[in-house]
Chains A and B, each alone.
Chain A
């Protein structure tokens, strides 16, 4: 049985269709990447799968449970590392993890051991009693990953996990993902902008304008859409074009154009 099943998923915001009739399935144990330009509908799809957003139509099931009708069952089985930070920066690393353990119903006598284990895993044990505000961006990301794994989910969502991280931290994070896959049966569903990161995934889905335009192994995608020696980036540009995307509708308001460029340059 697939761990994620999406059938004819549609999400509309007024006039804008963010996700347009998307269907796919992810098998247990897969490392599955979601690629697409800004505003393609990746984060919207993840939010629906995480039960944070209700779809306009279509069915989504995670671990066999309906995301709309059995949200609590779905939530107990998934871990999420959001695109934007979601730690309480006024608490210590330990407190952030302890509170997570409490709301995920980790038994009280197991909490201490599990927290120590995930802290060691992301190499933050020496910082356990430091207020998170003092952490660097990379340390915060690692703590979020530790938190996402604390309740031992069967499925882990990583929404742009390496965005804004330096190459050292990015590499470390990938080594960590590889180890995690060796040591457990966990399924990982990630979105990314970095195409070289998608190369190592089992399968890659490419989304554009809310539609799924390709779904296959990186090798098969390259063989089909570009010359054999091509990179996944060539496939991506071939399928999605060279235009720079804005997340809203096209608009020639000069202020918006400035903002668009600011975002691009950042």
Chain B
């Protein structure tokens, strides 16, 4: 049972909070600076090319993925703050379905994450990467799909967490592994089999693969497989997140 007013409220609240959160906007700019400007340019000096792709261009889809995953987890984790500061009770006691709360949260996290991802796109212009408007237009829906998968996963984790040890724990044990194991910073065709297996189990590997296909024309997996894994994971995680929300007291 979906309740549009509730979905709209959850979404609007998160967008308003996002626009007032300077630290979050700063983070959206700081991460591309670290990973594109320092890591991309720095490592690119010694490893000029991956296949035929310049290193800076190679790491670019990975940095988009990083900003997407970071922002959507940050957004999903706000559920824990809401519990801490009491606002979650105000929402849980309202005459709306738990499913619409989870869906509203998934959509607001997706929106905010795509905005974070768009900041990385702006860096492409500054760094004079040779991307066309058509490539960017194609990348946006892929980014939205990846952001949805990651927000739903974040909500699932947040709704199961009873104590909060700080965002650092999640960054170290969830976000960074997902980022590093997605083929974002190094190609997956020369890594040992155990590492490759881990990367194959990571849904973001398929998102990075799609983005790299769009920006550099190089792909590891067929398009249908990338899309199927992302869509399947999105549907699975959001279903589990809704179920977890229903059993929350």
Please give the residue numbers on chain A whose beta carbons come within 8 Å of chain B beta carbons, in ascending order. Answer: 50-54, 72-73, 75-76, 80, 82, 84-91, 95, 99-100, 102-105, 147
13 contacts between A and B (CB under 8 A): A52-B89, A75-B95, A82-B89, A85-B86, A88-B17, A91-B16, A99-B9, A100-B90, A102-B5, A103-B94, A103-B95, A103-B96, A105-B95
A103 CA to B7 CA, complexed, in Å: 9
Question: What total of A-B pairs shows CB separation below 8 Å?
Answer: 63
CB contacts (< 8 Å) of B9 on chain A: these are 99, 102-103
- The smallest C-beta distance from B2 to any residue of chain A, in angstroms, reads 13
Q: Once the chains are docked, how many angstroms separate the CA of A91 from the CA of B20?
A: 9
The CA-CA distance from A82 to B94 in the complex, in Å, is 13
What residues of chain B have their CB less than 8 Å away from a CB belonging to chain A? 5-6, 8-9, 12-13, 16-17, 20, 85-87, 89-97, 249
Query: Is B8's CB under 8 angstroms from A102's CB?
Result: yes
Interchain CB contact (< 8 A) of A53 among B91, B95, B97, B249: B249
Q: A73-B95, A99-B12, A147-B90 are in contact. List 19 more A-B contacts (CB 8 A).
A: A52-B89, A52-B93, A54-B249, A72-B97, A85-B86, A86-B85, A86-B89, A87-B86, A87-B87, A88-B13, A91-B17, A95-B13, A95-B16, A99-B9, A102-B5, A102-B9, A103-B94, A104-B94, A104-B95
| Chain B residues whose CB sits within 8 angstroms of the CB of A76 once the complex forms | 95
Q: Is there contact, CB below 8 Å, between A51 and B93?
A: yes
CA distance A2 to B90 in the complex (A): 26
Closest to B90 in A: A86
The minimal Cβ–Cβ distance linking B110 to chain A, given in whole angstroms, is 20
Bound Cα distance from A100 to B95, whole angstroms: 11
Query: How distant is the Cα of A72 from the Cα of B99 in the complex, in angstroms?
Result: 13
Given A82-B86, A88-B87, A103:B16 Cβ within 8 A: no
Collect the chain B residues with CB atoms within 8 Å of residue A147's CB: 90
- Interface SS majority for chain B: helix
A90 to B16, CA, bound (A): 9
User: Which residues of B lie under 8 Å from residue A84 when comparing CB positions?
Assistant: 86
| Cα A184 to Cα B172 with chains together (Å) | 55
Instruction: Give the docked Cα–Cα distance between A189 and B92 (Å).
Output: 20
Is the CB–CB distance between A72 and B6 below 8 Å?
A: no
B88 to A, closest residue via Cβ: A86
A72 contacts B89, CB within 8 Å?
no
A68 shortest CB reach to chain B, Å: 13
B20 (CB) vs chain A CBs: closest residue: A90
What 7 A-B pairs have minimum CB-CB distances, sorted nearest first? Answer: A86-B86, A76-B95, A75-B95, A103-B94, A102-B9, A86-B90, A72-B95
Interface centre among A72, A84, A102, A147 (most CB of B within 10 A): A102
A52 to B88: give the CA distance in the assembly, Å: 11
In the complex with contacts A102-B5, A102-B8, A52-B90 CB distance below 8 A: no
A90, B92: Cα distance in complex, Å: 19
Min distance, Cβ A227 to any Cβ of chain B, angstroms: 42
Tell me how far the C-beta of B226 lies from the nearest C-beta in chain A, rounded to whole angstroms: 37
Chain A's nearest CB lies how many Å from the CB of B49?
46
Who on chain B is nearest to A148 by CB?
B90
**B93 to chain A: closest CB distance in Å?**
6
Known interface pairs A51-B93, A91-B13; A102-B6 also in contact (CB < 8 Å): yes
Chain B nearest CB: distance from A184 CB in Å?
A: 20
Q: How far apart sit A87 and B249, CA to CA, in the bound complex (Å)?
A: 19
Q: Which residues of chain A are within 8 angstroms of B91 by Cβ–Cβ distance?
A: 103
Chain B's nearest CB lies how many Å from the CB of A138? 17
Contact residues in A for B97 (Cβ distance below 8 Å) = 72
Which of B6, B20, B89 has a CB less than 8 Å from the CB of A103? Answer: B6
Could you tell me the distance between the alpha carbons of A54 and B92 in the complex, rounded to whole angstroms?
14
* Chain A residues closer than 8 Å to B85, beta-carbon distance: 85-86, 88-89
Instruction: Select the residue from B16, B91, B94 with max chain A CB neighbours within 10 A.
Output: B94
In the complex, how many angstroms separate the beta carbon of B105 from the nearest chain A beta carbon?
A: 13
Which chain A residues border B93 with CB–CB below 8 Å? Answer: 50-52, 75, 80
Knowing A84-B86, A85-B86 touch, does A75 contact B13 (C-beta < 8 A)? Answer: no
In the complex, A50→B90 CA distance in Å?
11
* Complex interface: chain A residues within 8 A of B92 (CB): 52
Q: How far is the CA of A89 from the CA of B78 in the complex (A)?
A: 13
Residues from chain B with a CB closer than 8 A to the CB of A75 are: 93-95
Q: Which chain B residue has the least Cβ–Cβ distance from A85? A: B86
**When chains A and B are docked, how far (Å) is the Cα of A100 from the Cα of B5?**
10
